[in-house]
Amino acid sequence: MVTAARPAHLFALDPDRAYPVLARADGVHVWDTAGNRYLDAIAGIAVTNIGYGRREVADAIAEQAAKLPFAVGNIFANEPAIRLARIVSEITPGDLDWVHFCTGGSEAVEIALKLARQYHVERGEPGRDHIVSRWISYHGATLGGLSVGGSVLRRRKYEPMLVANTPHVRGPYEYRCPWPETHPDCGPAAAAEVEEAIVRAGPDRVAAFIAEPVVASVGGAIQPQPDYFERVREICDRYGVLLIVDEVVTGFGRTGTNFAIEHYGVVPDILVMGKGISGGYAPLAAVAVRDHVHAVFADQHVPFEHIFTFGGNPVSSAAGLAVLDIWRRERLVENAARLGPAFAAALEPLREFPFVGDIRTIGLMAGIEFVADQATKEPFPPARRVGAMVREAGLRNGVVTYPGSGMADGTRGDIISLYPPLTFTQEHLDDLSTRLVGAFRDVAPQLRSGA
Ligand code: PLP
C-alpha cells in the first residue's frame, strides 16, 4: 500500500498530489518511508545508471569535500575537473575533445546555445542569431531550453517570454510519420525540413541546429531513420550551421553505445550531456565541443563569455570520476546493448492490452504509447491523464515509470518512458514485466471506455 504525504513548506510541483517520501535506495530499488519497495525502472530519471548504494562513489565525494569542496571557474582549475574532462573527451566520438562542466542538463543546453552563438560572433558572423530545433523534443526547463524545446505543453504558459529566433521543424516519428507519402524512407523528407528552415531564416542567420538523437521524455524513445542525421550533418556543413546533439538522456550508454549519435555515424560540433555522468550522486552535466569550435576561441585568445558558480565543481567532478570508473569497469554500455533485445521482449506481453498503440525500444530505453483506438491511433483526451494514471498504477504495483504527453499533436498523446539502470539483469527484466502487466491490468477497466 503506497502511503504518501503532502509536506508543509516544501514547494512540491503538484499541490494536489501526495508524494511518496523516499527514504533509501540500493541497487535497482528505492524504498519510501512507509517501507514500500519500488523497482526503479527509470533510474531516477535516466540518471542512476550505475544503480544505488555505491559506497566507493560516496567515499570519493566525502574525500573531495574534505580536501577541496569548491574552486571558482574563472580564477582556478581543479584536478578532478581536469581528469574528468580527459575521460569525457576519450569516450565521446570523434574530436569532441574540449569539455566544459556545469550542474544540470538545462544549464548545459544554455551553454551549448551560447557557445554556438559566440563561435559565430568570433568568426566575424554576428548575424547568426537563430537556432533551429524540432517539435516533440525537450531541451531543459530554462527559458533558453524551453525556447528551443518542442513540447507545446511545457512551453505554452511561458510562450510570451521565449526567445524568438528559434524556428521549429518536424522530426522523424515512425508511428505517426509526418511524411506518409515517403514512409518508411522519410529520412530525406525529415532532413529537408531542416534545410528549408535554415533557408527561410536566411542561411547566414542560423547559428545551430539542436536535436535529441533519440527523443526521450516528451516522445518516448522516438528514433530517426538511419540516414537522417547523416543528411542533417551534410546540410549543417553546407550552410556553416553547427550541429548540437542533446544527449542528456541518451549519453553514457543508455542506448547501447557510449552516445546515441554513434548509431547514426556522425560527429556533432557540440554534444550536451548530463544525468548519467554522475549517476545522480552529485549534480553534474557537461558540454563537449570539437577541436574546430574550441580553436576559434583559442586561436583568437578570446574567453567564452560565461560562468556558472558551480560549473566544474570539484566534488561533483570527483563523483563523476568514481561513477565513470564503475561504468567502464563493469562494462555497462555493453550490458545495455546485450540486454536490449531481452528488454524489448520483456515488454512484449503489454501489446495484448487494447490501449497500447506502440512500444519502441533502443538499448535500455523504451517508450510505450497509449491510444484510445489501435486502428486509427486516436489518442485519449488529455483530461484523462492516461500517462499519470499508469504511473500511479505502476507505483501501486511496485514499479516506477515516467509519463509524458502531447506527442500526437502537441496537446494529445500519452506515453510512459522506461530507463532502467544499466546494471539491470534478466531477473530484473522478468520482475519489470510482471509488475507492468499488473499495472496495465489495473488501469484496463478505466481505459476500456476508449476516447
Ligand atoms: N535535455 C534533455 C534531452 C532532457 O531530457 C533533459 C531533462 O530531462 C534536459 C535536457 C534538462 O536537464 P535537467 O533537468 O538536468 O536540467
Residues 6 or more apart in contact with residue 17 via CB below 8 angstroms: 4, 6
Task: Answer for the pair 31, 22: CB distance below 8 angstroms, yes or no.
Answer: yes
- Identify the pLDDT of residue 8: 83
- Which residues does the chain have with pLDDT short of 70? 1-5, 449-451
Q: How many helices (H) and strands (E) does the chain have?
A: 13, 15
Joined together, the cell numbers standing for residue 88 give 569525457
Q: Is the CB of 268 under 6 A from ligand 1?
A: no
Q: Is the CB of 104 under 6 A from ligand 1?
A: yes
- Identify the pLDDT of residue 413: 98
In 3D space, the residue among 24, 23, 18 whose CA is nearest the CA of residue 2 turns out to be 18
| Closest Cα to atom 9 of ligand 1 | 140
Q: Is the CB of 217 under 6 A from ligand 1?
A: yes
| pLDDT tens column, 132-174 | 999 999 999 999 999 999 999 999 999 999 999 999 999 999 9
In whole angstroms, give the CA distance from residue 150 to residue 211: 10
Q: Is the CB of 108 under 6 A from ligand 1?
A: no
Pocket test for ligand 1, best of 49, 106, 415 (most atoms within 8 A of CB): 106
| pLDDT tens column, 264-299 | 999 999 999 999 999 999 999 999 999 999 999 999
- Identify the pLDDT of residue 244: 99
Q: Is the CB of 212 under 6 A from ligand 1?
A: yes
- Identify the pLDDT of residue 207: 98
| Closest Cα to atom 7 of ligand 1 | 140
- Identify the pLDDT of residue 449: 64
Query: Ligand 1: which atom is nearest the Cα of residue 250?
Result: 3
Joined together, the cell numbers standing for residue 79 give 584536478
- Identify the pLDDT of residue 3: 56
- Identify the pLDDT of residue 7: 75
Q: Is the CB of 248 under 6 A from ligand 1?
A: yes
- Identify the pLDDT of residue 289: 98
Query: Ligand 1: which atom is nearest the Cα of residue 46?
Result: 8
| Closest Cα to atom 5 of ligand 1 | 249
Helix 314-329 vs helix 332-347: crossing angle, to nearest 10:
70
Q: Radius of gyration of the chain from Cα atoms?
A: 22
- Identify the pLDDT of residue 225: 96
